[in-house]
Amino acid sequence: MGRTSKDKRDIYYRLAKEQGWRARSAFKLLQVDEEFQILNGVTRAVDLCAAPGSWSQVLGRQLADVEGAKIVAVDLQAMAPLPGVVQLQGDITKESTAEEIIRHFDGGKADLVVCDGAPDVTGLHDMDEYIQAQLLLAALNITTHVLQPGGTFVAKIFRGKDITLLYAQLRVFFKKVTCAKPRSSRNSSIEAFVVCQDYAPPAGYVPTMKNPMLDVDYNDTNSALTGPNRFIVPFVACGDLSAWDADQTHALDLDTYTRLNPVQPPTQPAYKSAVEKLRSQDQVRVPL
């Protein structure tokens, strides 16, 4: 496979390098914002599961001219610094992490919380959907600690048979919930993004990390909702037909084309120790 193969197959991978984004996922947030204007009026934003930092990049660029704007990026692993972004290495299931976020906002709360986190997929769709749902609920849990009323929450979701149950849970906290599919997200992927607007927690609700929020018994009775208890999830495609197609192979003009390296290499790649061992054993130069 040639060095230009991925640039041909994935137009957004190529555009990300050309425009200086750390990952192609930056276009997903840009297209969600284009459809829903989620960044309007935002001065305090939180990016959960932020590494490698493409969504934090989008927030940093889009809010660069907003006076007093503050952005906090949270992840368990370290990532390379970004201008205008405060990085917090922490666990989103810990109350101390929520307290640290609010401390960075000088006691205030966020206008916007986004989360592009996802587990390492196994290929077993039911398992992947369940794990992603638990990650989404963990992100929602910390969001109830740090988001102010009227705020917006955007998170990745894997569309499956239980999406209506997740939608009903999100509707407990937000007046409007929409499932969006950006143009830059491949049609072959089951990923989508829930855009939850106008945060309005139930009267008397007290955020807590001690008990799993909205913990339910996933049996046939609860998962098979009927009548008025069953919600039809609004589904919106973000980006008009003039946008690039993420599933199409795009030709390259090899006479003028210049291949670019990724904007930000991994700070601590998992393969680093293996490469160092090969170098020490074989005494040969192995590129990282």
pLDDT in tens, 226-258: 444 444 455 566 666 677 677 677 777 777 777
The helix or strand, by DSSP H or E, that contains position 203, with its residue range, turns out to be: none
Q: Could you give the CA distance from residue 21 to residue 156 in angstroms, rounded to a whole number?
A: 19
More confident residue, 17 or 273: 17
What is this structure's pTM?
A: 0.75
Q: Could you give the CA distance from residue 161 to residue 28 in angstroms, rounded to a whole number?
A: 23
Which percentage of the chain shows pLDDT scores above 90?
50
pLDDT at 206 exceeding the cut of 70: yes
Of 28, 70, 156, 181, which is the active-site residue?
Answer: 156
Q: Could you give the CA distance from residue 127 to residue 121 in angstroms, rounded to a whole number?
A: 9
pLDDT in tens, 253-287: 777 777 777 787 777 777 777 777 777 776 555 55
The helix or strand, by DSSP H or E, that contains position 68, with its residue range, turns out to be: none
Domain 5-282 has CATH 3.40.50.150: yes
In this predicted structure, what is the pLDDT of residue 225? 44
Residue 116 in marked binding region: yes
Residue 55 in marked binding region: yes
- The DSSP result for 214-254, as a single string, is T----SHHHHS--GGGPPPPPEEEES-TTSPPTTS-----T
28 assigned to active site? no
Structure tokens at 1: 């496979």
Residue 53 in marked binding region: yes
